Amino acid sequence: MSYRELTWQGLWQNNPALVQLLGLCPLLAVSNTVTNALGLGLATLLVLVGSNITVSLVREWVPKEIRIPVFVMVIATFVTVIQLLMNAYVYGLYQALGIFIPLIVTNCVIIGRAEAYASKNPWHHAAYDGLMMGLGFLIVLVLLGGIREVIGNGTLFDGAELLLGDWATALRIELFAVDYPLLLAILPPGAFIAMGFIIALKNGIDRYLEQRASKPVKEVTRARVTSQG
Protein backbone atom coordinates (compact mmCIF):
# COMPACT_ATOMS: atom_id res chain seq x y z
CA MET A 1 0.00 0.00 0.00
CA SER A 2 1.37 3.39 -0.95
CA TYR A 3 1.71 6.22 1.55
CA ARG A 4 -0.94 8.13 -0.36
CA GLU A 5 -3.34 5.25 0.01
CA LEU A 6 -2.50 4.91 3.70
CA THR A 7 -3.24 8.59 4.26
CA TRP A 8 -6.58 8.38 2.48
CA GLN A 9 -7.51 5.22 4.38
CA GLY A 10 -6.58 6.58 7.80
CA LEU A 11 -8.03 10.04 7.52
CA TRP A 12 -11.19 9.39 5.55
CA GLN A 13 -12.03 6.13 3.80
CA ASN A 14 -11.40 3.88 6.80
CA ASN A 15 -11.35 6.45 9.59
CA PRO A 16 -11.16 4.57 12.90
CA ALA A 17 -13.78 6.71 14.62
CA LEU A 18 -16.22 7.39 11.80
CA VAL A 19 -16.10 4.20 9.77
CA GLN A 20 -14.62 1.46 11.90
CA LEU A 21 -16.37 2.91 14.98
CA LEU A 22 -13.52 1.71 17.18
CA GLY A 23 -12.44 3.25 20.44
CA LEU A 24 -15.83 4.83 21.02
CA CYS A 25 -15.59 4.64 24.80
CA PRO A 26 -12.78 7.20 25.24
CA LEU A 27 -14.00 9.07 22.18
CA LEU A 28 -17.37 9.71 23.75
CA ALA A 29 -16.22 10.04 27.33
CA VAL A 30 -13.49 12.66 27.12
CA SER A 31 -14.59 14.74 24.16
CA ASN A 32 -16.37 17.29 26.34
CA THR A 33 -13.77 19.99 25.67
CA VAL A 34 -11.25 20.57 22.91
CA THR A 35 -8.39 20.41 25.39
CA ASN A 36 -9.35 17.01 26.76
CA ALA A 37 -9.94 15.72 23.27
CA LEU A 38 -6.60 16.98 22.04
CA GLY A 39 -4.79 15.51 25.05
CA LEU A 40 -6.30 12.07 24.70
CA GLY A 41 -6.00 12.15 20.92
CA LEU A 42 -2.28 12.91 21.11
CA ALA A 43 -1.72 10.22 23.73
CA THR A 44 -3.55 7.68 21.57
CA LEU A 45 -1.61 8.79 18.51
CA LEU A 46 1.75 8.29 20.23
CA VAL A 47 0.77 4.89 21.59
CA LEU A 48 -0.52 3.84 18.19
CA VAL A 49 2.67 4.82 16.35
CA GLY A 50 4.88 3.23 19.00
CA SER A 51 2.97 -0.01 19.19
CA ASN A 52 2.66 -0.29 15.40
CA ILE A 53 6.44 0.07 14.97
CA THR A 54 7.22 -2.43 17.72
CA VAL A 55 4.66 -4.98 16.61
CA SER A 56 5.93 -4.70 13.06
CA LEU A 57 9.56 -5.15 14.13
CA VAL A 58 8.89 -8.27 16.20
CA ARG A 59 6.38 -9.80 13.80
CA GLU A 60 8.80 -12.47 12.58
CA TRP A 61 9.47 -13.83 16.05
CA VAL A 62 5.96 -13.79 17.55
CA PRO A 63 4.19 -17.16 17.24
CA LYS A 64 0.70 -16.83 15.78
CA GLU A 65 -0.91 -18.50 18.78
CA ILE A 66 0.18 -15.96 21.35
CA ARG A 67 0.26 -12.83 19.24
CA ILE A 68 -2.64 -11.11 21.01
CA PRO A 69 -1.06 -11.26 24.51
CA VAL A 70 2.18 -10.00 23.02
CA PHE A 71 0.43 -7.11 21.31
CA VAL A 72 -1.37 -6.22 24.51
CA MET A 73 1.91 -6.25 26.44
CA VAL A 74 3.50 -3.95 23.87
CA ILE A 75 0.57 -1.58 23.94
CA ALA A 76 0.42 -1.60 27.73
CA THR A 77 4.10 -0.70 27.86
CA PHE A 78 3.60 2.31 25.64
CA VAL A 79 0.52 3.39 27.56
CA THR A 80 2.47 3.21 30.80
CA VAL A 81 5.21 5.35 29.31
CA ILE A 82 2.69 7.92 28.10
CA GLN A 83 0.88 7.89 31.39
CA LEU A 84 4.07 8.54 33.36
CA LEU A 85 5.06 11.29 30.94
CA MET A 86 1.67 12.96 31.26
CA ASN A 87 1.83 12.63 35.00
CA ALA A 88 5.18 14.40 34.95
CA TYR A 89 4.60 17.17 32.43
CA VAL A 90 0.86 17.86 32.06
CA TYR A 91 -0.44 17.01 35.50
CA GLY A 92 -3.64 19.05 35.21
CA LEU A 93 -4.66 17.25 32.05
CA TYR A 94 -3.56 13.95 33.57
CA GLN A 95 -6.06 14.52 36.33
CA ALA A 96 -8.78 15.69 33.96
CA LEU A 97 -8.50 12.60 31.77
CA GLY A 98 -8.22 10.27 34.75
CA ILE A 99 -8.96 6.63 34.09
CA PHE A 100 -9.12 7.15 30.33
CA ILE A 101 -5.33 7.31 29.99
CA PRO A 102 -4.73 3.74 31.28
CA LEU A 103 -7.80 2.69 29.33
CA ILE A 104 -5.99 3.49 26.09
CA VAL A 105 -4.72 -0.09 26.44
CA THR A 106 -8.19 -1.34 25.69
CA ASN A 107 -8.73 1.03 22.78
CA CYS A 108 -9.70 -1.25 19.91
CA VAL A 109 -8.15 1.04 17.32
CA ILE A 110 -4.69 0.22 18.59
CA ILE A 111 -4.99 -3.53 18.83
CA GLY A 112 -6.99 -3.49 15.62
CA ARG A 113 -4.17 -1.82 13.69
CA ALA A 114 -1.58 -4.06 15.31
CA GLU A 115 -3.49 -7.15 14.27
CA ALA A 116 -4.72 -6.01 10.88
CA TYR A 117 -1.79 -4.03 9.55
CA ALA A 118 1.37 -3.78 11.63
CA SER A 119 1.81 -7.53 12.09
CA LYS A 120 1.87 -8.03 8.32
CA ASN A 121 3.83 -5.05 7.00
CA PRO A 122 7.32 -3.55 7.25
CA TRP A 123 7.92 -1.12 10.07
CA HIS A 124 8.00 2.14 8.10
CA HIS A 125 4.63 1.42 6.56
CA ALA A 126 3.29 0.39 9.95
CA ALA A 127 4.57 3.60 11.50
CA TYR A 128 2.91 5.69 8.81
CA ASP A 129 -0.31 3.74 9.14
CA GLY A 130 -0.25 4.32 12.90
CA LEU A 131 0.32 8.02 12.34
CA MET A 132 -2.56 8.37 9.89
CA MET A 133 -5.00 6.27 11.88
CA GLY A 134 -4.04 8.19 15.00
CA LEU A 135 -4.52 11.48 13.19
CA GLY A 136 -7.90 10.35 11.88
CA PHE A 137 -8.93 9.49 15.42
CA LEU A 138 -7.48 12.74 16.77
CA ILE A 139 -9.28 14.90 14.22
CA VAL A 140 -12.66 13.35 14.97
CA LEU A 141 -12.01 13.59 18.69
CA VAL A 142 -11.12 17.28 18.46
CA LEU A 143 -14.05 18.01 16.16
CA LEU A 144 -16.43 16.33 18.56
CA GLY A 145 -14.82 18.12 21.48
CA GLY A 146 -15.19 21.44 19.68
CA ILE A 147 -18.85 20.89 18.87
CA ARG A 148 -19.66 19.84 22.41
CA GLU A 149 -17.69 22.64 24.00
CA VAL A 150 -19.26 25.32 21.81
CA ILE A 151 -22.81 24.09 22.32
CA GLY A 152 -22.41 23.24 25.96
CA ASN A 153 -20.21 26.04 27.16
CA GLY A 154 -19.90 28.68 24.44
CA THR A 155 -16.11 28.49 24.53
CA LEU A 156 -13.24 26.89 22.64
CA PHE A 157 -9.86 25.81 24.06
CA ASP A 158 -11.03 26.34 27.60
CA GLY A 159 -8.28 25.05 29.88
CA ALA A 160 -5.75 24.72 27.08
CA GLU A 161 -3.05 25.74 29.53
CA LEU A 162 -3.35 22.31 31.12
CA LEU A 163 -1.92 20.81 27.96
CA LEU A 164 0.22 23.53 26.44
CA GLY A 165 1.54 25.59 29.31
CA ASP A 166 0.64 29.00 30.67
CA TRP A 167 0.86 30.92 27.40
CA ALA A 168 -2.14 28.93 26.15
CA THR A 169 -4.61 30.78 28.36
CA ALA A 170 -4.63 33.31 25.53
CA LEU A 171 -6.06 30.62 23.24
CA ARG A 172 -9.34 30.55 25.09
CA ILE A 173 -12.09 31.87 22.84
CA GLU A 174 -15.43 32.81 24.27
CA LEU A 175 -17.90 32.64 21.41
CA PHE A 176 -20.91 33.60 23.46
CA ALA A 177 -21.63 33.87 27.13
CA VAL A 178 -24.19 31.47 28.47
CA ASP A 179 -25.92 31.88 31.77
CA TYR A 180 -27.21 28.35 31.68
CA PRO A 181 -25.00 25.89 29.80
CA LEU A 182 -26.74 23.25 27.72
CA LEU A 183 -25.60 20.47 30.01
CA LEU A 184 -26.75 17.76 27.66
CA ALA A 185 -23.99 18.59 25.19
CA ILE A 186 -21.39 18.15 27.91
CA LEU A 187 -22.95 14.96 29.27
CA PRO A 188 -22.57 11.57 27.53
CA PRO A 189 -25.86 11.73 25.56
CA GLY A 190 -24.57 14.86 23.84
CA ALA A 191 -21.54 12.89 22.68
CA PHE A 192 -23.70 10.20 21.14
CA ILE A 193 -25.97 12.69 19.39
CA ALA A 194 -23.08 14.80 18.05
CA MET A 195 -21.22 11.66 16.94
CA GLY A 196 -24.31 10.51 15.06
CA PHE A 197 -24.46 13.81 13.23
CA ILE A 198 -20.76 13.70 12.33
CA ILE A 199 -21.10 10.17 10.92
CA ALA A 200 -24.20 11.25 8.99
CA LEU A 201 -22.28 14.20 7.59
CA LYS A 202 -19.41 11.95 6.51
CA ASN A 203 -21.76 9.54 4.80
CA GLY A 204 -23.58 12.44 3.17
CA ILE A 205 -20.33 13.83 1.76
CA ASP A 206 -19.37 10.37 0.51
CA ARG A 207 -22.68 9.99 -1.26
CA TYR A 208 -22.45 13.44 -2.77
CA LEU A 209 -18.95 12.74 -4.09
CA GLU A 210 -20.04 9.42 -5.49
CA GLN A 211 -23.00 10.98 -7.25
CA ARG A 212 -20.89 13.75 -8.70
CA ALA A 213 -18.28 11.28 -9.88
CA SER A 214 -20.83 9.06 -11.58
CA LYS A 215 -22.89 11.81 -13.15
CA PRO A 216 -21.16 12.17 -16.56
CA VAL A 217 -21.75 8.50 -17.29
CA LYS A 218 -25.11 8.48 -18.99
CA GLU A 219 -25.14 4.96 -20.25
CA VAL A 220 -25.60 2.30 -17.61
CA THR A 221 -24.14 -0.91 -18.90
CA ARG A 222 -25.01 -3.03 -15.90
CA ALA A 223 -26.66 -2.53 -12.57
CA ARG A 224 -24.26 -2.92 -9.73
CA VAL A 225 -25.74 -5.27 -7.21
CA THR A 226 -22.88 -5.49 -4.74
CA SER A 227 -21.28 -2.64 -2.91
CA GLN A 228 -17.89 -1.47 -3.89
CA GLY A 229 -15.71 -3.90 -1.96
Is the CB of 2 or the CB of 211 nearer to other proteins? 211
Is the CB of 124 or the CB of 207 nearer to other proteins? 207
Contact yes or no for 157/172 (Cβ under 8 A) = yes
The H-or-E segment that residue 155 falls in is strand 155-156
Least distance to other proteins, CB of residue 28, Å: 16
Least distance to other proteins, CB of residue 180, Å: 6
Least distance to other proteins, CB of residue 201, Å: 12
What is d(CA 227, CA 223) in angstroms, rounded to the nearest whole number? 11
Binding interface with other proteins (CB under 8 A): 180-185, 187, 189, 193, 196
Please count the other Cβ atoms lying within 10 Å of the Cβ belonging to residue 187.
Answer: 13
Instruction: List Cα–Cα distances, 54 to 33, 47, 61, 225, in angstroms.
Output: 32, 10, 12, 41
What is the DSSP annotation of 118-152? GGGS-HHHHHHHHHHHHHHHHHHHHHHHHHHHHHH
Least distance to other proteins, CB of residue 22, Å: 24
Contact yes or no for 105/72 (Cβ under 8 A) = yes
Is the CB of 98 or the CB of 196 nearer to other proteins? 196
| Interstrand relation of 173-174 and 155-156 (parallel, antiparallel or unpaired) | antiparallel
In the chain the first and final C-alpha atoms are separated, in Å, by 16
Is the CB of 3 or the CB of 197 nearer to other proteins? 197
Least distance to other proteins, CB of residue 152, Å: 9
Contact yes or no for 52/118 (Cβ under 8 A) = yes
Is the CB of 25 or the CB of 183 nearer to other proteins? 183
Least distance to other proteins, CB of residue 183, Å: 4
Is the CB of 57 or the CB of 184 nearer to other proteins? 184
